[in-house]
Amino acid sequence: MKCINKLLSCILIASLSISLGGCGKEQEDVTSYKLYDTSFEYGLTQNGASSDVELFAKNLCVANSDDLGTSAVDSQVASGAGAFNVTEQSTVYAQSIHEKLYPASTTKILTAYIACMNGNLDEYYTVSANAVKQASDSSVINLREGDVVSLRDLLYGLMLRSGNDAAIAIAEGISGDVETFANLMNETAKSLGATNSHFITPNGLHDENHYTTVYDMYLILNAAIENPDFYSIFTATSYTANYTSGGKSKTVDWTTTNQYQSGKIKKPAGFTILGGKTGTTGAAGYCLVLLSENEEHDKIISIVFNADCRGNLYLLMNEILSNYCV
């Protein structure tokens, strides 16, 4: 039923004109679009009836292609950004949120979510030569071929230290190989309504065919934070991993790359930063997907993609939170 609901939402979102700031509430005139007849034609329902179908989109912040609020912030420093009040179910800031952009390591949000949904966090994986074959300037947790590491430790290394080697080890452990895992990434994204995305790698290293949108990333994180294991990992600021390397026990400490949580960047007044994932490549620029809470205890998902420098990434994020998410 969840899959049916989510696929129905994609049809609904693509076919109806929905104003910014809406929350999937019932529209005044949708009778001309026979949603359930159409869903029957696509094989999504048994008989086209609506009695047992709860639309996935009704619990989401939905938005059309119009920008919202960009005149009040220094928006030209990034290619896309958005802020979504998860509690109020409203889109409060939008800048090119449906434009296809490169996500860099924010891709790892989807990788971690899939691993939490499909894997056993206490299972141990043996790291392959392929996983450790990373460029010299790649972000890694310094895994070695033959290391034996739990999925839990790999996930913390993935999300806190943005380990590209950890991403490959996770993909191979879950699906056997990267290509099969990428197929699972794309299937999962579409099931969440993220239909403007296409993923090639579990780590987000640049590929022209690896892209998403601000809105799709909101959909992915919005689903992911409902998983308790993912939420614990995503909101962590540090972690101590213990695994076997070279036949010996190894202990390493990891801390987050999110500069709000590390204290390097001052957060806006009135906000609690719960978690976040950074990402940076030459093509993607500086990216941040953030989960925070305002003084009203509303949960906020805010996203900046392709900022021109790290300072402007956090500057724009601060402006969005301060102006639109209080």
Q: What is the pLDDT of residues 98-111, one digit of tens each?
A: 999 999 999 999 99
Query: Is 25 an annotated catalytic residue?
Result: no
Annotated binding site: 277
pLDDT of residue 55: 62
| Active-site choice (150, 162, 175, 302) | 162
248 phi, psi to nearest 5 deg: -120, 155
Whether 198 shows a pLDDT value over 50: the answer reads yes
Residues making up the binding site for substrate: 277
Does the pLDDT at position 51 exceed 70? Answer: no
- pTM for this predicted structure: 0.84
Buried b (16+ CB within 10 A) or exposed e, 139-159: bbbebeeebebbbbbbbbbbb
The residues, ordered by sequence, that sit 6+ positions from 80 with a Cβ below 8 Å of its Cβ are 95, 96, 97, 99, 101, 213, 214, 303, 304, 305, 306
CA distances from 220 to 114, 216, 288, 303 (A): 10, 6, 14, 12
Average predicted confidence (pLDDT) for the chain = 87
**What structural domains and CATH numbers belong to the chain?**
75-325 (3.40.710.10)
> Is 108 among the residues known to form the active site?
yes
Q: Which among 6, 79, 96, 108 is annotated as catalytic?
A: 108
Whether 150 sits among the annotated catalytic residues: the reply is no
